Amino acid sequence: MSTVTDVRSRRRPSRQRGRARFRFGFDIGGTFTDFVLVDIASGAVRTYKTLTTPRDPSRAVMEGWRALVDQADVGAESVEMAVHGTTLITNALIEREGAQTGLITTKGFRDVLEMRKEMRYDIYDLLITLPEPLVPRPLRLEVDERVTASGEVLRPLDLAELEPIAHKLRKEGVEAVAVCFLHSYRNPVHERAAGEWLRQRIPGIAVSISSEVAPEIREYERTSTTVSNAYVQPLAETYLRSIGEQLRGEGFEHNLYLMLSSGGIQTLETAARFPIRLVESGPAAGVLAAVFYGKLIGESDLVSFDMGGTTAKMCLIKDGQAAMASTFEIARVHRFKRGSGLPVQVRSIELIEIGAGGGSIARVDELGLLKVGPSSAGAEPGPACYGLGGTQPTVTDADLVLGYLNPDNFLGGRMALSLEAAEEAIRSVIAEPMGISLLDAAWGIHQVVNENMTAATRIHVAERGADVRRMRMIAFGGAGPVHADAIARALKMRGTIIPSSAGVTSALGFLTAPASFELARSVVGPLKESRLDELERVYRELEDEGRALLAGAGVSEQEMRFVRQADLRHAGQGHDIVLELPYAHLHGVDVERDLQPLFYERYENVFGHAHRHLSLEIVTCRVTASGPVPALAIETEEDTEALPVEQAIRDVRDAYFREAGGFVATPAYERARLTPGATFTGPAVVEEKDSTAVVGPRATVVVDRFLNLIVTFE
């Protein structure tokens, strides 16, 4: 049920300079686990895709490692670096499968977690419910300590108070505990003392303290972040350690890194302490890959579209960059509605994710309307056509019935799809209850899921004020290339880009990221001359922390890069903006002459006006510490022999295009046989081992020198 694809098989392996060196990336998704192995010298990429093994995810990982590293005759010792992304953290939060977690707060504040922001996420729906707090009330315990807003200790922490708490936590079988005291972002002394005491006294219980996890002002958001971190920590630790050990057992000697939601990477040890920073690691990798391809192709404005088995992720890339957000909401309980989930203060790439994937289940709702997703058939039992016991019709089943997918070529032909099972599921669950034909039902499923993704993309893009009509959509993920054509057309975009090995593209994103750490500390107060020394000290401390983390990741001192940022606002304002400081240190920097104009200018750019008569306040100091960007040279061989495009046609089959009047005889190209410069027109399908690209009528496809398909609509 899986396949090795050597997408650069027409290239010579690089043996010129002695021992070959490789990087290994893998992405555990809800349905599939994807792998890439890159030859650092030649840029040659080998890929592998297999079904995720939800009960023991490392099983699929080991399978992929062996398939790529062992069978491909690459010595384990020549793999220099492995980078990993996972949806397991997110899934544990969505499915509430994390640890039994406790919370210790400042006396009088244990219910902050439950009262949230006292806001409703829907004003008119009286029947909305809020997500259950991750820590039930009896496990939210208090100590009588207090630090003030200015960071002074008002009531010292008495460690003896922790004794009965530790006892209770043990008695209740708690596996993780979060500590969140008021104003700890300003002065972490009590949290640190409590954390240390707990780690010593109850060593089996994972401890997360808010001043380490998310040292930012606003008690609810900080508590929510810290609790979420604690909730997934035992699971993350066990799982990450197991993967690390198993890889070592296979002879892998170097560091395993984890991709963060922000697109940076972190060591396994740090990731195990702050697993909440991994919540969006897979989607982040996809965006990095899109950015990478954009640079390669020379398109700096793109919409990336990553559709896997469970969800679809869309992200606007402008000027070669995706926007970053400093908070993120996970596990929304109400149809992905903003405000219905758990907020976490985690720097993440700003993208929109909806429950639309190949495995999304179609149903008829109480009003008799066809609905698709957000629930997914996942890897087990999977779509009906997998023949693994699934009986619910999914998007993949519809795509098969519509002739887009080749039943004999799924995962490179290692897994036969059952057209009969797909038809049966769609007929019995959709067509018959709705009184429509099988074909209309399949087309309906395909259209509804496309509409969902189109609407989500439109909102995401509109929120950023972009005009996508001059852009292309870069599509990847197992199902992305099947659906991108219709979505990009609905958005009136120019066309699409389907990178080679699109089915595993996001795993490639892991290998384009530098080691990177983000550090922040809240320092709320006026931005004035007399505070610059204090701020300089904070920045230095953050940089020192970053330096130590980078050194641990094997980055040499010369290669380290630090960027300072400040969250600033007008005095008295409620929210702030992030400003990059173009200074390595604050000595000789003048607030009025240097910093204020920088702020006003940036503020005016964003909001149209600044209040120049008002002085400034600083809220948070931020430092990004990063290592070098890995050189990933994907190049095409100049001497590749061009093959006539007709030779790439594997067969001609009926595929459904409504605008062309229904089923149309459509050539199915074999991607591996397409060479640079090949040109053909739609309708067409292009098959490779781990995905299929669908091109509708009235479009031209050109294969570029990197073997990407560049599709332009007429």
Mapping DSSP to helix (H, G, I), strand (E, B) and coil, where does residue 75 land? coil
Give the count of beta carbons closer than 10 Å to the beta carbon of residue 263: 25
Count of chain residues binding another protein (CB under 8 A): 56
Nearer to another protein, 260 or 610 (CB): 610
For position 120 contacting another protein by CB under 8 A, the verdict is yes
Q: Which of 137, 241, 335, 470 binds another protein (CB under 8 A)?
A: 137
Nearer to another protein, 525 or 697 (CB): 525
For position 153 contacting another protein by CB under 8 A, the verdict is no
CA distance 505 to 478: 9
Instruction: State which amino acid sits at residue 468.
Output: V
Angle at 276 between CA 271 and CA 277, to 5 degrees: 65
CA distance 631 to 633: 6
Question: Helix H segments across 214-323?
Answer: 219-249, 268-273, 281-297
**Which residue is listed with tokens 């099983």?**
59
In the 8-state DSSP scheme, what is residue 510? G
CA distance 504 to 4: 11
Q: How far is the CB of 461 from another protein (least distance, A)?
A: 9
For position 145 contacting another protein by CB under 8 A, the verdict is no
Nearer to another protein, 182 or 291 (CB): 182
For position 365 contacting another protein by CB under 8 A, the verdict is no
Scanning 142-150, 253-261, 429-437, 503-511 for contacts with another protein by CB under 8 A, the matching segment is 142-150
Q: How far is the CB of 386 from another protein (least distance, A)?
A: 34
Scanning 32-40, 119-127, 308-316, 588-596 for contacts with another protein by CB under 8 A, the matching segment is 119-127
Site string for another protein, 218-257 (x = CB under 8 A): xxx-------------------------------------
Nearer to another protein, 241 or 492 (CB): 492
For position 333 contacting another protein by CB under 8 A, the verdict is no
Mapping DSSP to helix (H, G, I), strand (E, B) and coil, where does residue 688 land? coil
List, in sequence order, every beta strand (DSSP E) within 358-448. Answer: 360-364, 370-376
For position 125 contacting another protein by CB under 8 A, the verdict is yes
Q: How far is the CB of 270 from another protein (least distance, A)?
A: 27
Q: How far is the CB of 599 from another protein (least distance, A)?
A: 13
Site string for another protein, 438-477 (x = CB under 8 A): -----------------x--xx--xx-x-x-x--------
For position 367 contacting another protein by CB under 8 A, the verdict is no
For position 688 contacting another protein by CB under 8 A, the verdict is no
For position 123 contacting another protein by CB under 8 A, the verdict is yes
Residues whose CB falls within 8 Å of the CB of residue 384, separated by 6 or more in sequence, listed in order: 390, 391, 392, 393, 394, 397, 418, 421, 422, 424, 425
Q: Which two tokens stand for residue 340?
A: 């219905």
For position 118 contacting another protein by CB under 8 A, the verdict is yes
Contact indicator for 316, 299 with CB cutoff of 8 Å: no
Closest C-alpha to 395, from 385, 406, 381, 410 = 385
Q: Which two tokens stand for residue 223?
A: 């508590």
Nearer to another protein, 17 or 575 (CB): 575
Q: Kindly list the distances between the CA atom of residue 140 and the CA atoms of 209, 534, 669, in Å, as whole numbers in the listed order.
A: 14, 35, 60
For position 115 contacting another protein by CB under 8 A, the verdict is yes
In the 8-state DSSP scheme, what is residue 513? P
Residues whose CB falls within 8 Å of the CB of residue 113, separated by 6 or more in sequence, listed in order: 103, 133, 134, 135, 140, 220, 223, 224, 227
Contact indicator for 179, 207 with CB cutoff of 8 Å: yes
Q: Which of 53, 80, 122, 242 binds another protein (CB under 8 A)?
A: 122
For position 639 contacting another protein by CB under 8 A, the verdict is no
Q: How far is the CB of 484 from another protein (least distance, A)?
A: 19
In the 8-state DSSP scheme, what is residue 598? H
Give the count of beta carbons closer than 10 Å to the beta carbon of residue 192: 16
- CA dihedral sign, ordered 417, 696, 309, 439: negative
For position 609 contacting another protein by CB under 8 A, the verdict is yes
Contact indicator for 314, 654 with CB cutoff of 8 Å: no
Mapping DSSP to helix (H, G, I), strand (E, B) and coil, where does residue 156 land? coil
Contact indicator for 376, 354 with CB cutoff of 8 Å: no
Q: Which two tokens stand for residue 163?
A: 């004794």
For position 534 contacting another protein by CB under 8 A, the verdict is no
Q: Which of 338, 470, 537, 612 binds another protein (CB under 8 A)?
A: 338
Nearer to another protein, 455 or 633 (CB): 455
For position 108 contacting another protein by CB under 8 A, the verdict is yes
Q: How far is the CB of 605 from another protein (least distance, A)?
A: 11
Scanning 59-67, 509-517, 551-559, 608-616 for contacts with another protein by CB under 8 A, the matching segment is 608-616
List, in sequence order, every beta strand (DSSP E) within 435-500. Answer: 472-476, 495-498
Q: How far is the CB of 111 from another protein (least distance, A)?
A: 4
Q: What residues make contact with another protein under the rule CB under 8 A?
A: 107-112, 114-120, 122-127, 129-130, 136-138, 146, 148-149, 154, 182-183, 217-220, 338-339, 455, 458-459, 462-463, 465, 467, 469, 524, 570, 572-575, 577, 607-609, 611, 614
